[in-house]
Amino acid sequence: MSRLLDGRGDLGDLMRRARLIDMAQRHLRDHLPAELGEHMFVGGFHQGRLTVITDRAVWLTRLRYEQARLLQLLHELPGFAAVTGFDFKVRPVRPPKAPVRQTRRLPARAADELSSCADDVEDPRLKSALKRLASHAEREP
């Protein structure tokens, strides 16, 4: 495995590129204000330009103001002297929506029917399940 990752093949090149991108992201985040750094991600490097991704336009605006300083910080890292600028992108992160919970109600009359069925059943597990289900009924005050 180490021969594949450290070799001169496509996978080795990909791993080196991933390490460089990770190093750039950590270095930039360390030198940005904390609230800005947690919204900044390095997406890649192509033709001398580093792609910087953020989750909201407000953070992108702040990153644009920091462009010159970010470029200077990147040039401190080995392997990033060729970076000439940035491509900024906004990629909103949408949290998964929890399904709407539908609460079901059991009328008192239905609970009475379940209880009477439970009284006629001989199987103890089924009898217990029917009684538990009947206990969830709405009781009138």
pLDDT one-digit tens code per residue, 41-81:
998 888 889 899 999 999 999 999 989 999 999 899 888 88
Predicted confidence (pLDDT) at residue 17 exceeds the cutoff of 60: yes
H/E stretch holding 129: helix 124-134
Sign of CA dihedral 51, 54, 60, 62: negative
94-113 residue pLDDT tens = 777 778 888 778 888 888 89
Domains by residue range for the chain, with CATH: 2-90 (3.30.300.180), 106-141 (no CATH)
> In this model, does residue 93 exceed pLDDT 80?
no
